[in-house]
Structure 1
Amino acid sequence: MIAFTARAVVVRALLAATLLTVMACTPLQVLTHSVSQNEARVPVGRYDLDADHCSITFDVEHFSYSRFQMRFDRKKGQLNWNEGGLENSSVSVSIDAASIDTNVPLLDKMVKSASLLDVEQYPEIRFTSTKFERTGDSRGTLTGDLTIHGVTQPVTLAVTFNGFAPDPLTKKDTLGFSAEGRFSRAKFGLATWYPAVGDEIHVRIEAEFGRTPAGG
């Protein structure tokens, strides 16, 4: 009984020490951090995609049972923010097609093969914006050219500007966005396994772009 009590005391002491360490290493400004959706406050310039804080996931109908989800793990891009905000700015993103992750190793190989994405011949998926139309405060539709499997088609995404602020940890000026859209995979020559696998692709994007301020 005494040994059990001693162990409990040690465990509680370790937990308390860990909590104190975390609190000591967490700046107060991180806990109280906020962002602004005022586009006029965003410094003009080039912002690079933060690949560690970006997710590109998509889903497609599977035998009408569910919408099967996948993601791409490697991507890069840049946002050119200009005076006037969203309407006058542009973005381009490049995705490594071979970085697709279905969470099923055998399916990964099948999707990457010549029967579908053919990543050896078409290693890059690319999106380049062409037009932004505002639909509300900090929201709008972003149209751009999407290239998959060597085919380029226009695609429109619903975009929300989540906000801007200097990142409290990296000190970089940082912008955050959410986006989603739908398009036909057949238009890109990717009709394999239809209708067992649906034609409509639903994509969701969460992205942060950052830049080091002058003198930073």
Structure 2
Amino acid sequence: MKQVFSLLMIAFLSTTTFAQTTWKVDPAHTQVSFGITHMGISEVEGRFNKFDGSIVASKDDFSDAQYQLTIEVPSIDTGVEMRDNHLRNADFFDAENHPKMTFKSTSSKKVSENKYKVTGDLTFHGITKPVTLDVWYRGTVENPQNGDVISGFAISGEVKRSDYNLGPDFPEAVLSDSVVVDVDGEFKKQ
């Protein structure tokens, strides 16, 4: 009987020790944005207005976190309708044939207090490539209005548009090959 009790305790402790928590993106308090240099002299910025994402972790400091993000490409918004329509067409994102952009992490490495290098697969325009992003875990708080537990993250990195065949007819003198990507926002504990 003691052995059965011991085995049950070990099983219980194992499942509680490795319990994972899922955090879902709060779109009302999150921005997914990008910036690219135009003509070598100015920065054009934009964002995606529709997206979904989650973080799954078993550790409170998110050192073992797994990140996943899905972006609706047609929701691109640079504040100029004519440019947005051009970015949606086959010259760039080809949003009709490739309406989603996804990122799924494959590893996370702690580099300092609350800062990580997260590597994963970025897929869009029909191409998947590994990218490494900088992640800053900004803390966890409880919302006093509704009791939600939320965590803040700033995620940033650079991708090369040439890696994804994005705007191949536009040379680097017109549009930089490097595109800065930023996700800044809140994730609610589920």
Shorter-chain TM-score range: 0.7 to 0.9
C-alpha separation in 1, matches of 2:106 and 2:149? 24
Partner of 2:3: none
Partner of 2:10: none
- Structure 2: state its 5+ residue gaps: 1-18
Partner of 2:184: 206
The residue type paired with residue 193 of structure 1 is: F
SS, match of residue 111 in structure 1: helix
C-alpha separation in 2, matches of 1:159 and 1:58? 16
Deviation at 1:114, TM superposition (A): 1.3
Partner of 1:6: none
TM-score relative to the length of structure 1: 0.75
Among 83, 106, 112, the residue aligned to 2:88: 112
Partner of 1:78: 54
Judge conservation of contact 1:116–1:192 (CA < 8 Å) in 2.
no
C-alpha separation in 2, matches of 1:45 and 1:105? 40
C-alpha separation in 1, matches of 2:169 and 2:187? 35
Partner of 2:34: 58
Among 38, 43, 64, the residue aligned to 1:88: 64
The root-mean-square deviation of aligned C-alpha atoms, in Å, is 1.5
C-alpha separation in 2, matches of 1:116 and 1:184? 13
SS, match of residue 169 in structure 1: coil
- Structure 2 residue 156 is the aligned partner of structure 1 residue 180: yes
Aligned residues: 170
SS, match of residue 62 in structure 2: helix
Deviations 1:151-179 (A, max 9, x none): 01111111110001222223111110012
Deviations 1:100-141 (A, max 9, x none): 001111011100001110111000000101111111010111
C-alpha separation in 1, matches of 2:75 and 2:47? 8
- Structure 2 residue 121 is the aligned partner of structure 1 residue 145: yes
Structure 1 or 2, whichever has the larger Rg, is 1
Q: 199-208 vs 43-52, which deviates more?
A: 43-52
- Structure 1: state its 5+ residue gaps: 1-42
- Poorly superposed stretches of 4+, deviation over 4 Å: none
Partner of 2:101: 125
Among 173, 183, 197, the residue aligned to 2:175: 197
SS, match of residue 176 in structure 2: coil
SS, match of residue 110 in structure 2: strand
Shift in CA distance, 121/106, structure 1 to aligned 2, threshold 3 Å: same
Q: 167-176 vs 91-100, which deviates more?
A: 167-176
Deviation at 1:87, TM superposition (A): 2.9
Among 141, 161, 176, the residue aligned to 1:165: 141
SS, match of residue 50 in structure 1: strand
Q: Which structure: greater strand fraction?
A: 2
C-alpha separation in 2, matches of 1:130 and 1:86? 14
The residue type paired with residue 37 of structure 2 is: E
Deviations 1:28-69 (A, max 9, x none): xxxxxxxxxxxxxxx941111101111111111100111111
The residue type paired with residue 210 of structure 1 is: K
Judge conservation of contact 1:92–1:127 (CA < 8 Å) in 2.
yes
Identical-residue share of aligned pairs (%): 27
Q: Which structure: greater helix fraction?
A: 1
Judge conservation of contact 1:56–1:72 (CA < 8 Å) in 2.
yes
